[in-house]
Structure 1
Amino acid sequence: MPVDEPGKQSLVEVMDARSGLFEAAMAIYEAEIPKAEQKTRAQILASLAHPDVRLWAYVRGGEVIGLSIVYAPRAEGVMLLEYLAIAARAQGGGIGSLLFTASFEASRIDPGTMLLIEVDSEDGDVDAAERAVRLKRKQFYRRLGCREVGGFDYILPLENYGPAPKMNLLVLGMEEDRLETSRLKKAVRAVYQNVYACAPDDPRLAAMFAGLEGSLQLV
């Protein structure tokens, strides 16, 4: 694991799944990511084998305090922030914002690239406490300039630990107020195939985009 100056923070790409850096990042992942949204370790390793998927560790004083996993294809013009998590002991000090910005900039190939972010929806069958948590998470991303794809219910293709929660997509990097449905569909199909190892004709893709044409409002 890299040793930094005390208090110094740095973004380090995790290249070796046998390293202490990987284990420290995975410990945060398993503790902080909701169970229903987690991949198995085998799935994590399989996705990291894809050349466009990058795992970042955020290190402070030699200690891993956060991680992010970003899908950044070279020619698509659209990226996905798959996961972002901060260790409980480091939460509340602005580390999440720093990690988000640093991993986005380090992964982005083209300045015009759009970033998608998977987030839990506050709608549906959730209690008041959980709804507040989900709204707080969305507010975190909104403060960083992200907007929600209105009228779009994203289906997270994971069922390792029971049904995935209802999800939305947020977007960063769009100056326009509307997103072409065809562009979003192409991006989501690539995410399904390259991040989640789904078939290109996965029926959930058709279900998500049924009845959607033209463009979608960013709110």
Structure 2
Amino acid sequence: MTQGSARTDLRIGQLNVAEGPAFEEFYEIFCEALPASERKPRELIVALATRSDYYLLIGEIGGRVMSFAILYLSDRYPIALLEYLGTSAAARGKGLGAEMFRAAIDRIGSDSLVIEVDSDRQDSGDLEMRRRRKQFYARLGARQIPGVEYRMPKIGADSPPELDLMVRPGGGRTHVTKDEMAAWIEDIFRGAYHRAVPREELARMIQAMPSHVDLIP
């Protein structure tokens, strides 16, 4: 079911919901790795596995799921959204997250990867963890889009936290404009969350973004 990775003991492939044990192992990590306010319900995750515009990738070691990545692929723009990325608590710090990220890049080809990441603009009890997460993506080639105050739509009982957007450029892209970012956010809301983003909310999200952001240092 899989292809090899840089770690010879890690096998990465697409999740098949018919593989009962693998799905249960994946879902346990999914719930462990993400706060309830950011998790889609189980039935929606099952449905994503049947969609042509989604990849649900899992990483297995010794036949057990240890990591995962969920990708939404836009049919309108040359982008994909890294909607979720997680690793089993027992396997953290061993490079599995980076391997899953690289596998995601391989899957999307020349598209640019948009990443929703918890913001460190405000003080919080897990501020240092949020900063480390951003540094993790930055080491893998992603660039935070300054001035964007992004908030994903509410998908559960709790309101989601403030988020930032990062972009790992693909296809030779060297920059992103404010108008492009607005279009990308609209498409993410439509395709990944099945909602329209209110015009006033979109304007607020990108109000402070420069008209042009370089993606290559």
Q: Give the TM-score category using the shorter length.
A: 0.7 to 0.9
Q: For residues 70-123 of structure 1, what are the alpha-carbon distances to aligned partners after superposition, in whole Å with 9 as ceiling and x for unaligned?
A: 0123552111100000001111111111111012212x14x2x11100000112
Q: Which residue of 2 aligns with 1:185?
A: 182
Q: Which residue of 2 aligns with 1:119?
A: 117
2:116–2:164 contact (8 Å) kept in structure 1: yes
Q: 1:210 to 1:64 in 2, by over 3 A?
A: same
What does 1:55-66 correspond to in 2, within 5 Å? Answer: 55-66=56-67
Q: For residues 167-202 of structure 1, what are the alpha-carbon distances to aligned partners after superposition, in whole Å with 9 as ceiling and x for unaligned?
A: 000110166664211211111111101111112656
Query: What is the percent sequence identity of the aligned residues?
Result: 28
RMSD: 2.5
Stretch moving more, 168-177 or 182-191: 168-177
Q: Which residue of 2 aligns with 1:30?
A: 31
SS in 2 for 1:42: helix
The alignment's TM-score, normalised by the length of structure 1, stands at 0.85
How many angstroms apart in 1 are the aligned matches of 2:18 and 2:54? 14
How many angstroms apart in 2 are the aligned matches of 1:55 and 1:92? 22
How many angstroms apart in 1 are the aligned matches of 2:136 and 2:179? 28
How many angstroms apart in 2 are the aligned matches of 1:102 and 1:157? 27
- Paired amino acid for 1:198: R
Q: Which residue of 1 aligns with 2:166?
A: 170
Q: 1:145 to 1:164 in 2, by over 3 A?
A: same
Unpaired stretches in structure 2, ≥5 consecutive residues: none
1:47–1:195 contact (8 Å) kept in structure 2: no
Unpaired stretches in structure 1, ≥5 consecutive residues: none
1:148–1:170 contact (8 Å) kept in structure 2: yes
Aligned residue pair count: 211
How many angstroms apart in 2 are the aligned matches of 1:86 and 1:203? 36
The alignment's TM-score, normalised by the length of structure 2, stands at 0.86
How many angstroms apart in 2 are the aligned matches of 1:202 and 1:43? 26
